[in-house]
């Protein structure tokens, strides 16, 4: 979640939650309605792809889009369940929520987990510290049952905050973060939520997927254990994960109007649902800003003429030989004040050579995070 510096995660703890499950029509149901199911099964009698893409047995967690800045869903922790609003973040691997022990002013404006109110809570005396760049949290590690949709992870590790620091967290509409990256970037000796889902036999396929809606529209979901093809067009294009920590892939190049503007000799990028923007190394980002004639303000921000949006070229990210265009309508943000800002930022963290394809990119492309095969699937998202 780049807008508050979530990418620079050093450590994070994990908490899982409960939410009402939304059933989505499966491919089987759609084919049956059109009287095409029998023919399909005869042609694909043992098709693993059919099971994989049917939408059957998939747990779908609804999420709400807040100002195109982050996506929030409801989870619950403990017995009886205590509900929290969390960001499902592929850029981190742990879960944490505020606790009744938190003394920071930020915690006053958010729900707080009460371990004394849960009969299944298991305490530890292990302190944790989570650093995200502009955000930090200290607290304790605990264990309890975490529910996401109809999935209940037993004795799930999560963080209970005691202090939280970030001015940007005071008025936001989420309580904590649920990380979905690889265990390698999780708190030592803990099992992330998604790994618990798989290890405890709660899901039939070792994968999850995101559909992110635009402009505060309803319909955003994260789905666990399978993929529903009604959320995308065409075929999924698969990209191997290059490093099993964050969801990292190799970019071939980044171009505009047929000219390479970044990543000329390939580079690395992270698919990060917790980052609102597209971020990259300073020089390539400045090169893109020059290409779109962005101007700096007295505060150091970049602005651009809103009238130019319809004439600006796409930014094309080529990944594993496939071009993924991002139009100006996606990489330019029009504020209610009538001022337009590029949805691009420079990466000031230590990983300065890394690109982050956040929600600006992921709203355009339905994304499957396939842990079984260590790959990411991309296809144009339905409008």
Please write the tens of the pLDDT for every residue from 63-96.
998 888 889 999 999 999 999 999 999 999 999 9
Residue 98: predicted pLDDT? 94
Look at residue 156 and tell me whether its pLDDT is greater than 80: yes
pLDDT at position 337: 75
Is pLDDT of 109 > 80? yes
Question: How sure is the predictor about 6, in pLDDT bands with cuts at 50, 70 and 90?
Answer: very low
Q: CA-CA distance, 72 to 310, in Å (whole number)?
A: 31
**For position 351, what pLDDT does the model report?**
52
Pick the range with the lowest mean pLDDT from 16-20, 243-247, 299-303: 16-20
- Tell me which fold the domain 232-380 belongs to: Cathepsin D, subunit A; domain 1 (2.40.70)
102: left (phi over 0), alpha (psi -120 to 50) or beta: beta
Q: Which fold has domain 2-23+53-224?
A: Cathepsin D, subunit A; domain 1 (2.40.70)
* Residues above pLDDT 90, as percent of the chain: 65
CA distance 8 to 120: 32
Question: What percent of the chain stands above pLDDT 70?
Answer: 80
Whether cis (ω within 30° of 0) applies to the bond prior to 353 is no
| The predicted structure's pLDDT at residue 14 | 34
Mean pLDDT of the chain: 84
Say if residues 269 and 355 touch (Cβ distance below 8 Å): yes
What's the confidence (pLDDT) of residue 346? 86
Q: How far is CA 377 from the centre of its chain?
A: 14
Whether 2-23+53-224 shares its CATH topology with 232-380 is answered: yes
Q: 21-25, 92-96, 331-335: which has the minimum mean pLDDT?
A: 21-25
Number of alpha helices (DSSP H) and beta strands (DSSP E) in the chain: 8, 26
Is the CB of residue 115 less than 8 Å from the CB of residue 142? Answer: yes
Active-site positions read 89, 272
> Is there a contact between 96 and 87 (Cβ–Cβ < 8 Å)?
no
Task: Give Rg (Cα) of the chain.
Answer: 21
Neighbours of 354 (CB within 10 A): 18
pLDDT at 339 over 90: no
Neighbours of 320 (CB within 10 A): 15
165: pLDDT confidence band, cut at 50, 70 and 90? confident
Domain-wise residue ranges, the chain: 2-23+53-224, 232-380
Residue 104, pLDDT score? 86
Report the pLDDT value the prediction gives residue 66, as an integer from 0 to 100.
Answer: 86
pLDDT in tens, 249-284: 999 999 999 999 999 999 999 999 998 999 999 999
């Amino acid at each position: 979640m780049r807008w508050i510096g979530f990418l620079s995660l050093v450590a994070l703890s994990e908490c899982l939650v409960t939410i009402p499950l939304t059933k989505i029509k499966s491919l089987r149901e759609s084919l049956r309605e059109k009287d095409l199911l029998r023919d399909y099964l005869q042609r694909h009698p043992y098709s693993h792809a059919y099971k994989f893409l049917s939408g059957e047995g998939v747990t779908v967690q609804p999420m709400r889009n807040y100002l195109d800045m982050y996506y929030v869903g409801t989870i619950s922790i403990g017995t009886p369940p205590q509900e929290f609003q969390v960001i499902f973040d592929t850029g981190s691997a742990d879960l944490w929520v505020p606790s009744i022990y938190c003394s920071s002013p930020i915690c006053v404006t958010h729900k707080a987990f009460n371990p004394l109110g849960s009969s299944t809570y298991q305490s530890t005396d292990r302190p944790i510290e989570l650093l995200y760049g502009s955000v930090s949290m200290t607290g304790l590690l605990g264990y309890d049952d975490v529910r996401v949709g109809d999935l209940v992870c037993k004795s799930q590790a999560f963080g209970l905050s005691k202090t939280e620091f970030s001015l940007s967290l005071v008025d936001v509409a989420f309580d904590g973060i649920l990380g979905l990256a690889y265990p390698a970037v999780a708190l030592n000796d803990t099992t992330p939520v998604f790994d618990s889902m798989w290890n405890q036999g709660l899901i039939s396929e070792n994968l999850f997927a995101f559909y992110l809606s635009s402009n505060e529209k309803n319909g955003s979901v994260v789905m666990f254990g399978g993929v529903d093809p009604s959320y995308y067009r065409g075929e999924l294009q698969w990209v191997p994960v290059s490093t099993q920590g964050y969801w990292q892939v190799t970019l071939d190049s980044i171009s505009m109007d047929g000219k390479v503007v970044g990543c000329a000799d390939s580079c690395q990028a992270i698919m990060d649902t917790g980052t609102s923007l597209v971020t990259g190394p300073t020089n390539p980002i400045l090169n893109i800003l020059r290409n779109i004639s962005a101007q700096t303000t007295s505060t150091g921000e970049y602005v651009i003429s809103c009238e130019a949006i319809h004439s600006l070229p796409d930014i094309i990210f080529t990944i594993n030989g496939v071009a993924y265009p991002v139009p100006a309508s996606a990489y330019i943000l029009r504020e209610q004040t009538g001022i337009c800002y590029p949805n691009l930022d420079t990466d000031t963290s230590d990983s300065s050579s890394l690109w982050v394809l956040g929600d600006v990119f992921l709203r355009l492309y339905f994304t499957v995070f396939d842990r079984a095969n260590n790959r990411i699937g991309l296809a144009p998202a339905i409008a």
